[in-house]
Structure 1
Amino acid sequence: MADAVAEVPEEPIKSSKKPLFIGLILALLGAGGGYFAVSSGLVGGSHEDGSHNATATTPQALPDIAFVEVEPIMISLSGSDRVRHLRFRGQLEVEAPYQKDVAHVLPRVTDVMNSYLRALELKDFEDPAALLRLRSQLLRRIQLVVGEGRVRDLLIMEFVLN
């Protein structure tokens, strides 16, 4: 015959809420500790006055610079069946106290630029990095003529090869 076993329904085990409260307390302590670490500069760099927004909205002052325009230069290039011309116009970024000094020796700067550009051939301009190389070479020559520390950069305003 069939065994008639009476099954007793199992009662669900009540879970304790104690781990939930411990987890919540630990999460709050971790969040508070993280906030303190970031705001005090222990993590993520330090802020001198403790506020990140004050440094983000205040831009740094621009350096004391001036621009001296170089007369446009027109160069005929060799290395082709037909004559090609390069039209070059630029400005020199100089320290403001040296603006008059640089303007005074501008004819020498133009001479150095003419000499370098006339030595180039048409194939020198075919490289994609030609303008970058040309700019650095011209800047170095200009700095030698004018003197170290006076000219910060050469800005190319017009560079047309036709």
Structure 2
Amino acid sequence: MSDEPQTPKKSSKKPLMIGLALALLGGGGGFFAVQSGVIGGAGPVEDHAQIAAVSDSPKLSFVPLDPLIVSLAREGGRDHLRFSAQLEVVPEFANEVEAVKPRIVDVLNGYLRAVEVAQLEDPAALIRLRAQMLRRIQIVTGEGRVRDLLIMEFVLS
């Protein structure tokens, strides 16, 4: 019997080094794949055919809507919503959409007054609200005239 204390075996650093090397290779490969456009998109636009395709996109017109200030009832008092937007329209229908702007503002005003303040405060709700407002605008203006609703200002105060 020996009185010398036994020293535990030192663990090998080989698995740690292999793991580190694989992590670096994976990270570098992922970066290259994203940067070159293999993953997550088409990459930088350098081809003249792609540039020509972008410039040949359909022409658009924008019809600005008058800014709205909507009073919102709240338990502790009143809040206000400042809202302004523009409509992306097909150019040949721009005059028709401009002519029904009072109806569009009326529909938006009524819809925004009906929405609860809690929904307006939810950051994820803006996408749903935008879709609902766009659908109502498309009903008022007629199918195929308004392509999109671009929200310029949406501020609760």
What is the aligned-residue identity percentage? Answer: 51
Other-structure match for 1:157: 152
SS at match of 1:149: coil
Q: How does 1:83-122 map to 2 (within 5 A)?
A: 83-122=78-117
* TM-score (normalised: structure 2): 0.66
| Matching residue within 48, 51, 66 for 1:71 | 66
Which deviations, in whole Å up to 9, do the C-alpha atoms of 1:118-149 show, x marking residues without a partner? 11121112322111111000000000000000
SS at match of 1:154: strand
Q: How does 1:45-60 map to 2 (within 5 A)?
A: 53-60=47-54
Which deviations, in whole Å up to 9, do the C-alpha atoms of 1:82-103 show, x marking residues without a partner? 2110000000000000000000
Other-structure match for 2:143: 148
From the superposition, tell whether residues 122 and 62 of structure 1 become closer, same or farther in structure 2 (CA, over 3 Å): same
Structure 2 counterpart of 1:143, one-letter code = Q
Which deviations, in whole Å up to 9, do the C-alpha atoms of 1:16-36 show, x marking residues without a partner? xxxxxxxxxxxxxxxxxxxxx
Q: Distance in 2 between matches of 1:131 and 1:100?
A: 28
State yes or no: 1:80 paired with 2:75: yes
| Matching residue within 127, 131, 139 for 1:132 | 127
Deviation at 1:53, TM superposition (A): 4.2
Structure 2 counterpart of 1:92, one-letter code = L
Structure 1 counterpart of 2:52, one-letter code = T
Structure 2 counterpart of 1:62, one-letter code = S
What count of residue pairs does the alignment treat as equivalent?
111
Query: What 5-or-longer segments of structure 1 have no aligned partner?
Result: 1-51
* TM-score (normalised: structure 1): 0.64
Higher gyration radius (CA): 1
SS at match of 1:78: strand
Deviation at 1:57, TM superposition (A): 4.7
